Amino acid sequence: MLENKDQSRTSLEELGEFGLINHLTEHFKITHKTTLKGIGDDAAVLSFPDTQIVVTTDLLIEGVHFDLSYVPLKHLGYKAVMVNLSDVYAMNAMASQITVSIAVSNRFPLEALEDLYVGIQTACTNYKVDLIGGDTTSSTTGLVISVTAIGNTTKEKIVGRDTAKAGDLVVVTGDIGAAYMGLQVLEREKAVFKVNPNSQPDLEQYAYIVERQLKPEARKDVVLLLESLEVLPTSMIDISDGLSSEILHLCKNSKVGCNLYEEKIPLDPQVINTCEEFELDSTTIALSGGEDYELLFTIRQEDYPKIKANPNFTVVGHMTEEREGAHLITRANTKIPLIARGWNALQSE
Amino acid sequence: MLENKDQSRTSLEELGEFGLINHLTEHFKITHKTTLKGIGDDAAVLSFPDTQIVVTTDLLIEGVHFDLSYVPLKHLGYKAVMVNLSDVYAMNAMASQITVSIAVSNRFPLEALEDLYVGIQTACTNYKVDLIGGDTTSSTTGLVISVTAIGNTTKEKIVGRDTAKAGDLVVVTGDIGAAYMGLQVLEREKAVFKVNPNSQPDLEQYAYIVERQLKPEARKDVVLLLESLEVLPTSMIDISDGLSSEILHLCKNSKVGCNLYEEKIPLDPQVINTCEEFELDSTTIALSGGEDYELLFTIRQEDYPKIKANPNFTVVGHMTEEREGAHLITRANTKIPLIARGWNALQSE
């Protein structure tokens, strides 16, 4: 009997994160005319007279999203805010307020939480957002951080995931893959430390990629830059789960295909060197690495002259008709289907 | 050396929840003119042209805020929404949207989360709010639920905690103490079940108080009723931590004192009977019990005729000058100082 019972139950792994959200929320109806966008984009959008409010939230769990054995609490506080602001900027909106809730066990002294809040405050100051609320409670085990970010903009400026067109250029900001390789270096140091607690790690040659992992920056500057260049992207998303997963979100939501060119993917030399050292393929890392918090967006071809000279932007491909599918064009000029593999999938390999 | 280190650290218990929030956030500055109210009320208020947005958030942790051995997941989902809507109504605003984030370990099958979301959906339908976003992630141990509720109203209608005046009447909606006594009954049944797993609990005589614990209702109806009666409270708060704690919040924020009359505190007969059975003082339970999610508000004396005939409202006292302090006037007509003891404090006794 117990066995039968188990067989009739569905495990969460079978569905995956996106499948789970869709499954659990598919029967919910939107009833307010102020709810312009609900679940399914980087952030929800509420429409009020003269103002669009953007809302996004993330839940960070110790042991799942961060490992306090190598993540300083200041950086964790900073990153927890960045992860959310990044979603607001991915809507082409300006972040203005956050709420922060934490659950914490008694093993944390006050001084640890002060460090966490120094990081949160630094993020608030650097990005000019106000902390407006939250909840502080106890936890039975580790640290839990829940951040909700609120932004606003005007109706014409909101950029979603579902408005890319075939022929649009695909643009990536900065470079990608670094945050994932930074994590690999930190994980290796942790393993070394376990064996020899007196080891002194020399992370200087990995400074950039470790900083990208521990203290990412959300691309507020890109939203402001696009505005000053008078470029309104046709679709946008932030790169939290790896380039392939994000580009496939744009394709699926916009009902288009894409050609992504391997040789165009922007990589920092430190990522290339560290990939060689770890015997990892740098393209795979860029496609599936995640946590870069760069922006991925599409623009009309006629806007290309406005962005082409800017070192912040790299055109990595173009959108195609939906029936053509989503492909990576390799350096050897072979065309292979893009598949979504978030960094969680990558880690379990 | 280790000992010295420990002595210089501060434990979280020393500060308490409110002290902790204040301590951690005191150096944060408000920089946006849209941020009308930040930390320190039931909800934050954002001010946009023609619209005030109200935002509140709560984090619920298994083993701290709920015990799945007697809380059905449907009810938990419902209650998680109610706790947040209650904060929106306490600002005299209407709730319109929520986000729900959950972290869940693999011990939960999909069907368990479906139950949780049935409860969330029922709450959304009954209270007419839209689920607009969230985050679903894995947890290393138990279930974590983070809900953010958003509401809106006009500027004139927002009611905070800091605007009560000496002479104002203090009003409680419904009755209080029931949720806490419901919890006592459930805890007793759990203890009985541990000793004898075949025991069949008969909770019929406790139906009301158990329902108040498991499936509380936020008082949206009261906000609508006050509007139809043309009564704008001078201050308002929801009763989540017990009457004495909440009334002291109003007093402190509004810089007034109060006289609260023991004989006026509205108690359901089932609360009185169950208090007798458990040999607990019903006034203590009402003052410190918590989780009732009723509203506590103050009105000008001239508004008294508008509410006096309504069975939803009980006048329990009046505000006084701050120098007079906050007191309970007992049935024996003695005057004793009110002290804030949340239900957490009560439980550890």
Check B38 against A128: CB less than 8 A apart.
no
Averaged pLDDT for residues A17-25: 81
Check A38 against B133: CB less than 8 A apart.
yes
Q: Which of B17, B34, B59 to mutate to test the interface with A (most CBs of A within 10 A)?
A: B59
- Annotated binding residues of A for ATP, written as ranges, equal 117, 134-135, 161, 240
A163 burial via Cβ count (<10 Å: 0-12, 13-18, 19+): middle
CB B28 within 8 A of CB A134: no
pLDDT tens readout for residues A217-275:
999 999 999 999 999 999 999 999 999 999 999 999 999 999 999 999 999 999 999 99
Chain B hits for A105, Cβ within 8 Å: none
Read off the tokens for A340. 């979504």
Class of domain A11-157: alpha beta
* Confidence check: pLDDT of B23 > 90: no
Instruction: List helix spans (H) across B44-109.
Output: 73-89
The CATH number of B2-155 is which of 3.30.1330.10, 1.10.287.620, 3.40.50.150, 3.40.350.10? 3.30.1330.10
Strands (E), A84-125: 94-104
Question: Is B330 annotated among the ligand-binding residues?
Answer: no
Averaged pLDDT for residues B262-281: 97
- CB-nearest to B111 from A10, A134, A140 is A10
Check A137 against B65: CB less than 8 A apart.
yes
In chain B, pLDDT over 70 holds for what percent of residues? 94
Instruction: Work out the mean pLDDT of chain B and round it to a whole number.
Output: 91
C-beta atoms surrounding A297 within 10 Å: 27
Q: Which helix (H) or strand (E) holds A273?
A: helix A269-278
Check A131 against B28: CB less than 8 A apart.
yes
Amino acid at A206: Y
Q: Which of A241-255, B43-57, B237-251 is the least confident region?
A: B43-57
Phi, psi torsion values for B326, nearest 5 degrees: -105, 125
Check B57 against A114: CB less than 8 A apart.
no
B126 vs chain A: nearest CA distance in angstroms?
Answer: 12
Q: Which of B23, B135, B343 to mutate to test the interface with A (most CBs of A within 10 A)?
A: B135
**What pLDDT does B347 receive?**
44
Cα four-point dihedral sign B315, B321, B327, B331: negative
How many helices (H) and strands (E) would you count in chain A?
12, 13
Chain B hits for A152, Cβ within 8 Å: 34, 48
Longest dimension (CA), chain A: 68
Rounded to whole angstroms, the Cα distance separating B347 from B288 reads: 10
Q: Which residue of A has its CA nearest to B138?
A: A64
* Confidence check: pLDDT of B326 > 60: yes
* Nearest alpha carbon to residue A241 among A87, A93, A99, A91: A87
**What pLDDT does B342 receive?**
53
Check A24 against B114: CB less than 8 A apart.
yes
Question: What SS3 state is found at B348?
Answer: coil
Q: Which residue of B has its CA nearest to A63?
A: B140
pLDDT tens readout for residues A152-163:
999 899 999 999
**What pLDDT does A3 receive?**
36
* Confidence check: pLDDT of A349 > 60: no
Give the range with max mean pLDDT: A24-33, A45-54, A230-239, B26-35. A230-239
* Nearest alpha carbon to residue B190 among B210, B215, B205, B212: B210
Question: Is B139 annotated among the ligand-binding residues?
Answer: no
Look at B250 and B37; give whichever has higher pLDDT.
Answer: B250
* Confidence check: pLDDT of A4 > 80: no
Phi, psi torsion values for B144, nearest 5 degrees: -125, 130
Cα four-point dihedral sign A152, A154, A157, A160: positive
Secondary structure letter of residue B168 according to DSSP? P
The CATH number of B169-347 is which of 3.30.70.2740, 3.90.650.10, 3.10.310.30, 3.30.70.250? 3.90.650.10
C-beta atoms surrounding A346 within 10 Å: 17
Check A140 against B144: CB less than 8 A apart.
no
Nearby residues of A179 by Cβ (< 8 Å), 6 or more positions away: A209, A212, A213, A216, A289, A290, A291, A292, A293
Phi-psi domain of A167 (left: phi exceeds 0; alpha: psi -120 through 50; beta: other): left
Chain B hits for A11, Cβ within 8 Å: 106, 109-110
Query: pLDDT tier at B346 (50, 70, 90 boundaries)?
Result: very low
Tokens 């050396």 — which residue?
B1
What is the helix, strand, coil percentage profile of chain A, to 5?
40, 25, 35
**What pLDDT does B322 receive?**
97
Tokens 């339970």 — which residue?
B285
**What pLDDT does A208 receive?**
97
* Confidence check: pLDDT of B53 > 50: yes
Averaged pLDDT for residues A6-18: 66
**What pLDDT does A341 receive?**
67
B147 vs chain A: nearest CA distance in angstroms?
Answer: 9
Chain B hits for A148, Cβ within 8 Å: 55, 57, 99, 148
* Confidence check: pLDDT of B25 > 80: yes
| Angle subtended at Cα B268 by Cα B263 and Cα B274, rounded to the nearest 5 degrees | 100
- CB-nearest to A57 from B11, B99, B110 is B99
Question: Is B56 annotated among the ligand-binding residues?
Answer: yes
**What pLDDT does B283 receive?**
95
- Annotated binding residues of A for substrate, written as ranges, equal 65, 291, 343
Question: What SS3 state is found at B236?
Answer: strand
Q: Which residues of A209-221 are buried (b: 16+ CB within 10 A; e: fewer)?
A: bbbbbbbbbbbbe
Q: Which residue of B has its CA nearest to A122?
A: B28
Query: pLDDT tier at A342 (50, 70, 90 boundaries)?
Result: low
**What pLDDT does B341 receive?**
67
Q: Which residue of A has its CA nearest to B153?
A: A48
What angle, 0 to 180 degrees and rounded to 10, lies between the N-to-C axes of helices B110-127 and B73-89? 30
Domain boundaries, chain A: 11-157, 169-347
B225 vs chain A: nearest CA distance in angstroms?
Answer: 21
Averaged pLDDT for residues A100-120: 92
Q: Which helix (H) or strand (E) holds B35?
A: strand B35-37
Averaged pLDDT for residues A37-66: 90
Query: pLDDT tier at B8 (50, 70, 90 boundaries)?
Result: low
Nearby residues of A94 by Cβ (< 8 Å), 6 or more positions away: A88, A151, A152, A153, A220, A223
Query: pLDDT tier at B297 (50, 70, 90 boundaries)?
Result: very high
Instruction: List helix spans (H) across chain B.
Output: 2-7, 12-25, 73-89, 110-127, 178-195, 207-214, 220-228, 243-254, 269-277, 282-288, 304-307, 343-347
B114 vs chain A: nearest CA distance in angstroms?
Answer: 6
Question: What SS3 state is found at A123?
Answer: helix
ipTM above 0.85 for this complex: yes
* Confidence check: pLDDT of B349 > 90: no
**What pLDDT does A328 receive?**
96
**What pLDDT does B6 receive?**
47
Instruction: Work out the mean pLDDT of chain A and round it to a whole number.
Output: 91
Look at B48 and A312; give whichever has higher pLDDT.
Answer: A312
Give chain A's length.
349
Check A46 against B132: CB less than 8 A apart.
yes
Query: Count of CB contacts below 8 A, A vs B?
Result: 262
Check B32 against A96: CB less than 8 A apart.
yes
pLDDT tens readout for residues A284-318:
999 999 999 999 999 999 999 999 999 999 999 99
Q: Which of A331-345, B7-21, B252-266, B282-296 is the least confident region?
A: B7-21
Rounded to whole angstroms, the Cα distance separating A244 from B65 reads: 39
Look at A172 and A15; give whichever has higher pLDDT.
Answer: A172
Nearby residues of B35 by Cβ (< 8 Å), 6 or more positions away: A96, A97, A130, A132, B44, B46, B47
- CB-nearest to B96 from A34, A37, A49 is A34
Question: Is B173 annotated among the ligand-binding residues?
Answer: no
B304 vs chain A: nearest CA distance in angstroms?
Answer: 33
Q: What is the DSSP string of A332-349?
A: T--EEE-----HHHHHT-
- CB-nearest to B128 from A31, A129, A137 is A31
* Confidence check: pLDDT of B14 > 90: no
Q: Which residue of A has its CA nearest to B132?
A: A38
| Angle subtended at Cα B310 by Cα B240 and Cα B207, rounded to the nearest 5 degrees | 50
Check A64 against B140: CB less than 8 A apart.
yes
**What pLDDT does B207 receive?**
96
